[in-house]
C-alpha cells in the first residue's frame, strides 16, 4: 500500500474513533493556537498533493502499466487492412505489336488495356497474424509486470521520503519556535535583572561587575534569539515549499514532564528481522526480478517462432486478366540461425545487469540493517539523555529558587542568579532538542523496516502536543 492510500486517514479513518485523540488530531485542519500545533498528518496530505516530483512519478507508474498491455498485445491477433491505387504505363509485347488497330473489330477488347500499355488497378487486403509459439513474447509479459511492481515501489519510496522531509522540517520549525519563545522569556528576565543591577549600582549598593555580567548575558541571548528566528524562517520556508502552506507554531513551551514518548516494542533482533520489508530493499529486490525477467526474455531470442497468417485480397483493374480475389492461409516457422552475434551479446548484457541488481540488493539489505541498528541505538541514547535532562531541569529549578532567595537575603549575588536562570533555559532548550531527535529517530526506525504510516505521524503529534500544554510549574 502506498502513502497515497494511507493519506486517506488525513480526512477520515473508520478505524480511528472520531472522539479519540487520534481521531481528533486527524480530523482537524493544519491550524494552530497558543495551545495547539499544526496537524502533521494534514500537512503531509497537503504535501502529497503539492509535490510535483511525486506527481511525475505517479504518471510514470501509469505509463509503465501500459507496458503490460503492450506485452500482451504481442501475443494476440494482429489485424490490418491495406489498400491502394496504381496507374502503370509500359512497353511490352502488346504495345509493340504493329497489327494492333483499335478500329479492328476482330481485336479482343479484353486486351485493349494491354495494347494501350496503360493499366489502372485498385486493390485492398485484409490480413490477420496470430503468434502460436513465441518464448520471447511470453517472457516479455513477465518482464512488464515486474516493471510495474518496481514503478509502484519507487512511488511508495518517494512518498516515504517526502513524509520524512515534512517531518524533519516540521520538527525543526517546532524546535526553533520553542527556542525563540524560551529565549524571548530569557531576554525579558535578563532585561529585568539588568535594570535591577543598574539601579543598585547607581544607588551605590551594587557591583559594576553584576551590571556588565547582566549586559553580556542579555546581548548573548539577543544574538541566540536572532539565530533561532532565522532557523524558524528556514524551517517554515521548507514546509511551505513542501506543502504549499505556511503554518504557525506559536512559541509557548508546555510542561515538559507531561511529554510521553512512544516506546519501542521488541528487541533489536526483532527489528532486524523486519528490515527486509524496507522499501529500498523491496525496490532492489523487485529490480532484480525485472533484470531476471529481462534476461529470460532475451534468451527467448534463441527459440523459433511459429505464427498463423490469414489474408484476403481483392484487386480491380481495367485489365480483366489482372483482376483477382485471393484467400490465403499459412503457418510460418521462423528459426534464428545467425544474427551477427546480436543475440548472444544481448543475453550477456542482460546477465550482467542481473549480477549488478543482485549486488545492489545485497547492499540495500546491509544499509537497511545498519539503519535499524543506528536508529535503535540512537533512540535508547536519546531516552537516557531525556531522563538525565529531566532530573537536571528539576535540580536547576530548585537551584534557581535557592539562588533568588539567597540574593534577596544577601547570601548570593546577581551573577549566581543569572547563571542558574541561564542554565535552566539552556536545559529546557536541550530537552526540546532531544525530544525532536528522539521522535525523528523513532520515525526513521519505522522507515528502516518499511512500516512508516500515517498512524505514526498521528502518534508523533500526540507526543508533540504535550509541548504546548500549559505547564503546571514554570521555571
**Tens digits of residue pLDDT in 372-399:** 999 999 999 999 999 999 899 889 888 8
Q: Give 336 or 250, the one with higher predicted confidence.
A: 336
**How far apart (Å, rounded) are the C-alpha atoms in residues 401 and 398?**
5
Cα torsion 408, 413, 415, 416: sign: negative
**How far apart (Å, rounded) are the C-alpha atoms in residues 388 and 58?**
46
pLDDT at 472 over 60: no
pLDDT (0 to 100) of residue 167: 93
Name which of 144-153, 193-202, 327-336 the model is least confident about: 193-202
70-124 pLDDT tens trace: 999 999 999 999 999 999 888 877 777 766 666 665 556 677 777 777 888 999 9
Cell numbers standing for residue 306: 511459429
Name which of 1-15, 215-229, 259-273, 441-455 the model is least confident about: 1-15
Region 362-381 average pLDDT:
94
- CA 149-152-156 angle, 5° bins: 135
Which of 3-7, 104-108, 255-259, 295-299 is the most confident on average? 295-299
Region 317-341 average pLDDT:
89
pLDDT (0 to 100) of residue 293: 94
CB atoms within 10 A of CB 236: 20
Q: Give 35 or 237, the one with higher predicted confidence.
A: 237
Q: Give 250 or 226, the one with higher predicted confidence.
A: 226
Domains of the chain, CATH where assigned: 3-72+137-297+345-468 (1.20.1600.10), 77-134+304-334 (2.20.200.10)
Output the pTM of the full model: 0.79
36-80 pLDDT tens trace: 788 888 999 999 999 888 999 999 999 999 999 999 999 999 999
Please report which confidence band the pLDDT of residue 178 belongs to, taking 50, 70 and 90 as the band edges: confident
pLDDT (0 to 100) of residue 263: 81
**How far apart (Å, rounded) are the C-alpha atoms in residues 346 and 386?**
59
Please report which confidence band the pLDDT of residue 165 belongs to, taking 50, 70 and 90 as the band edges: very high
Please report which confidence band the pLDDT of residue 369 belongs to, taking 50, 70 and 90 as the band edges: very high
Q: Give 418 or 284, the one with higher predicted confidence.
A: 284
Name which of 135-144, 365-374, 398-407, 464-473 the model is least confident about: 464-473
Region 428-441 average pLDDT:
90
Contact predicate 445/195, CB 8 Å:
no
pLDDT (0 to 100) of residue 17: 46
Please report which confidence band the pLDDT of residue 23 belongs to, taking 50, 70 and 90 as the band edges: very low
pLDDT (0 to 100) of residue 358: 95
Q: What is the mean pLDDT of the chain?
A: 84
Region 399-426 average pLDDT:
79
**How far apart (Å, rounded) are the C-alpha atoms in residues 313 and 318?**
17
Q: Report which of 268, 272, 253, 278 is spatially closest to residue 393, judged by C-alpha positions.
A: 253
Region 206-218 average pLDDT:
82
pLDDT at 18 over 50: no
Q: State the Cα torsion 13-14-20-24 to the nearest 10°.
A: 30
Distances (CA, A) of 374 to 193, 280, 379, 431, 445: 45, 17, 9, 21, 9
Name which of 275-279, 373-377, 407-411 the model is least confident about: 407-411
pLDDT at 474 over 60: no
Amino acid at each position: 500500500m502506498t502513502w497515497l492510500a494511507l493519506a486517506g486517514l488525513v480526512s477520515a479513518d473508520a478505524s480511528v474513533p472520531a472522539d479519540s485523540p487520534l481521531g481528533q488530531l486527524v480530523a482537524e485542519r493544519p491550524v494552530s493556537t497558543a495551545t495547539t500545533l499544526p496537524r502533521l498528518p494534514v500537512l503531509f496530505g497537503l504535501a502529497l498533493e503539492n509535490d510535483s516530483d511525486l506527481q511525475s512519478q505517479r504518471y510514470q507508474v501509469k505509463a509503465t502499466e501500459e507496458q503490460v498491455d503492450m506485452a500482451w498485445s504481442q501475443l494476440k491477433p494482429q489485424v490490418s487492412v491495406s489498400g491502394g491505387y496504381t496507374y502503370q504505363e509500359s512497353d511490352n509485347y502488346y504495345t509493340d505489336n504493329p497489327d494492333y488497330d483499335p478500329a479492328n473489330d476482330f481485336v479482343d477488347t479484353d486486351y485493349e488495356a494491354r495494347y494501350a500499355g496503360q493499366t489502372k488497378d485498385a486493390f485492398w487486403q485484409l490480413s490477420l497474424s496470430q503468434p502460436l509459439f513465441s518464448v520471447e513474447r511470453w517472457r516479455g509479459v513477465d518482464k512488464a509486470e515486474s516493471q510495474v511492481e518496481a514503478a509502484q515501489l519507487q512511488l511508495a519510496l518517494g512518498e516515504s521520503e517526502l513524509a520524512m522531509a515534512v517531518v524533519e522540517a516540521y520538527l525543526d520549525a517546532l524546535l526553533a519556535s520553542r527556542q525563540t519563545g524560551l529565549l524571548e522569556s530569557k531576554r525579558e528576565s535578563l532585561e529585568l535583572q539588568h535594570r535591577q543591577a543598574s539601579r543598585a549600582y547607581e544607588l551605590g549598593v551594587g557591583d559594576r561587575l553584576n551590571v556588565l555580567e547582566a549586559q553580556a548575558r542579555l546581548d548573548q541571548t539577543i544574538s541566540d534569539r536572532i539565530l533561532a528566528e532565522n532557523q524558524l524562517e528556514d524551517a517554515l520556508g521548507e514546509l511551505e515549499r513542501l506543502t504549499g502552506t505556511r503554518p504557525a507554531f506559536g512559541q509557548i513551551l508546555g510542561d515538559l514532564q507531561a511529554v510521553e514518548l512512544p516506546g519501542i516494542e521488541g528487541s533489536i533482533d526483532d527489528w532486524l528481522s523486519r528490515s527486509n520489508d524496507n522499501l529500498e530493499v523491496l525496490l532492489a529486490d523487485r529490480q532484480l526480478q525485472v533484470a531476471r525477467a529481462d534476461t529470460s526474455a532475451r534468451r527467448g531470442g534463441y527459440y523459433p517462432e511459429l505464427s498463423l497468417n490469414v489474408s484476403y485480397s481483392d484487386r480491380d483493374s481495367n485489365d480483366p486478366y489482372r483482376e483477382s480475389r485471393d484467400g490465403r492461409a499459412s503457418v510460418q516457422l521462423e528459426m534464428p540461425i545467425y544474427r551477427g552475434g546480436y543475440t548472444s551479446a544481448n543475453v550477456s548484457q542482460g546477465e550482467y545487469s542481473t549480477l549488478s541488481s543482485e549486488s545492489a540488493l545485497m547492499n540495500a539489505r546491509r544499509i537497511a540493517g545498519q539503519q535499524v541498528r543506528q536508529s535503535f541505538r540512537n533512540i535508547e541514547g536519546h531516552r537516557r539523555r531525556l531522563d538525565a535532562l529531566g532530573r537536571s531541569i528539576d535540580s536547576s529549578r530548585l537551584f534557581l529558587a535557592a539562588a533568588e532567595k539567597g540574593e534577596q537575603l544577601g547570601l548570593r549575588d546577581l551573577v549566581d542568579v543569572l547563571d542558574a536562570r541561564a542554565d535552566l533555559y539552556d536545559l529546557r532548550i536541550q530537552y526540546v532538542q532531544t525530544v525532536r531527535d528522539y521522535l525523528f529517530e523513532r520515525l526513521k526506525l519505522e522507515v528502516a523496516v518499511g512500516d512508516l504510516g500515517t498512524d505514526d505521524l498521528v502518534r508523533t503529534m500526540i507526543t508533540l502536543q504535550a509541548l504546548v500544554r500549559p505547564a503546571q510549574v514554570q521555571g
